[in-house]
Amino acid sequence: MGGRAIGSVTAAGARVVVVGGANTDIVGASSAAVRANDSNPGHIRVSAGGVGRNVAENLARLGVNVSLVTAFGGDEAGRALMEACRDAGIDVSASIVAGDLPGAHYLAILDEWCDMALAVNDMRVLDLVTPAALAEPARAALLAAACLVVVDTNLPAVSLEWLAATVTAPIVLEPVSEAKAGRAAGILSRVAALTPNAAEAAVLLGHEVDGLAAALAAARELVALGAGAAFVTCGVGGTAWADASASGTTPAPLVSVANASGAGDAFCAGVAWAALSGRGARDAAALGTSLASIALGDEDTVSRRVTPEAASAAAKELD
């Protein structure tokens, strides 16, 4: 498909297919500065998570018809996670259920500022989302009917390459982490939009990206490599964005942070939602930022306060 423009997807009642991670989140928030090699007082919560799943739930809360293609473990945690997806309005009928593997888990420790100090993920079950599995008739038909496909780099690199070569709908790509962002390096020219943070952009480009000015240069460079649009997030520094016709920056609003874990996923959902609305990169950056700010202010990884009205109102405040 090439780097198709982000605003070229408009479709009422569009079906979005998200292919990526779903896992059980175990998040421990320290009440004070994190002390290494010691027990830290705080509080712990368990919830449904995973980059792809979080993007899908945000889209469902925005009124989008969304299907998730992922792999669930055959254990109790995997079954509970699948049910949580259904309860959130996400269609999981095309997902894989592994009888002999545990469900994916993500364990995060937050510091006293509610930012991630350390995380460990066990996503082995997602290795089952292979090109052969994606090519099975029911999944292939679902992908072929999609108006937009969102992928994350929890998938094996060969699966990302298969999707890039096979899917005809525009693709929005979330690079997930520094450790996994490199899996997308070979398909940049086939994505309509990608949403790395500065560290992930540095992995994709092979050089440091430090500060908003560097992020703007990185966004332009990613577009020059073939991406339809690029959004490089810099936390409180704001977001740099670019497409083939324009580039710029969007400020980050002041937010009392309750949980930083789901902000990037919410941003990606905002970019996808903008594509479905036929909006350009500037509006996509504003919508992504507005959803990220809602996520940051909520202890839940996906905020129940996400609605089309709330997202649009928050985006207008950035004008």
In a domain, 41, yes or no: no
In a domain, 8, yes or no: no
pLDDT above 60: residue 243:
yes
Tens of pLDDT, residues 56-99:
999 999 999 999 999 999 999 999 999 999 999 999 999 999 98
The label of the residue with tokens 């939009």 reads: 193
pLDDT above 50: residue 2:
no
Confidence band, pLDDT 50/70/90 cuts, at residue 246: very high
In a domain, 195, yes or no: yes
In a domain, 275, yes or no: yes
Looking at residue 165, which CATH number applies to its domain? 3.40.1190.20
- Report the distance separating Cα 236 and Cα 221, nearest Å: 22
- Report the distance separating Cα 172 and Cα 202, nearest Å: 19
Q: How many residues does the chain have?
A: 319
pLDDT above 60: residue 9:
no
CA angle 295, 109, 103 (to 5 degrees): 80
Longest dimension (CA), the chain: 53
In a domain, 239, yes or no: yes
In a domain, 154, yes or no: yes
- Report the distance separating Cα 245 and Cα 175, nearest Å: 23
The label of the residue with tokens 């693709």 reads: 171
Tens of pLDDT, residues 225-237:
999 999 999 999 9
- Report the distance separating Cα 161 and Cα 175, nearest Å: 14
In a domain, 114, yes or no: no
Structural domains of the chain, count? 1
pLDDT above 80: residue 3:
no
Give the range of the structural domain holding residue 296, as residue numbers without chain letter.
Answer: 15-22+50-100+125-316
Task: Tell me what the mean pLDDT of segment 246-259 comes to.
Answer: 90
- Report the distance separating Cα 235 and Cα 140, nearest Å: 36
For the stretch 1-32, what's the b/e string if a residue is b when 16 or more beta carbons lie within 10 angstroms of its beta carbon? Answer: bebbbbbebeeeebbbbbbbbbbbbbbbbbee
Task: Tell me what the mean pLDDT of segment 280-303 comes to.
Answer: 92
Look at 8-12, 60-64, 111-115 and tell me which has the smallest mean pLDDT. 8-12
What 8-state DSSP symbol labels residue 62?
T
pLDDT at 6: 60
What 8-state DSSP symbol labels residue 47?
E
In a domain, 276, yes or no: yes
CA dihedral 119, 120, 125, 127 (to 10 degrees): 90
